[in-house]
Amino acid sequence: MAKIIYIEHGGTRHDVTVPNGLSVMDGAKRFTIPGIDGDCGGACACATCHVYIEDDWFDRLPKMDRLERDMLDFAFDVAPNSRLACQIKINENLEGLVVRCPARQY
């Protein structure tokens, strides 16, 4: 398990403990975090779980694969620290991971 810090676009912070093996998107859905829709259920097919990873965490995550990179083309306001939350699997090394939600999905 790892504590993940979700920050809504407006600044509201949610600190939740997410079980290992779930994705950052699964954690957001489980705890009803606004701003992460996950319409495809985690199949990396919609980009509605687009998030921004805090800079000090970005290089500590597994590298993005081509499918995720291509799917980000459909996200709104992509930045260098953008990722799809469905592609980040929780493990104890992610304790304290900070993700920020964009202004909107799509």
pLDDT at residue 88 in the model: 98
pLDDT at residue 79 in the model: 97
Kindly report the backbone phi and psi dihedral angles of residue 56, in degrees, each rounded to the nearest multiple of 5, phi listed first.
Answer: -70, -10
Where do the domains of the chain lie?
2-100
pLDDT at residue 82 in the model: 98
For each of the chain's 106 residues, which pLDDT tens digit applies? 999 999 999 999 999 999 999 999 999 999 999 999 999 999 999 999 999 999 999 999 999 999 999 999 999 999 999 999 999 999 999 999 999 999 999 7
Whole-model pTM: value is: 0.95
Contacts of 47 (CB under 8 A, 6+ apart): 71, 72, 73, 74, 75, 84, 105, 106
CATH, domain range 2-100: 3.10.20.30
Distance between CA 68 and CA 25 in Å, rounded? 14
- What's the one-letter identity of residue 51? V
pLDDT at residue 32 in the model: 96
Q: Is the Cα torsion angle 84, 100, 80, 18 positive or negative in sign?
A: negative
pLDDT at residue 106 in the model: 76
pLDDT at residue 38 in the model: 94
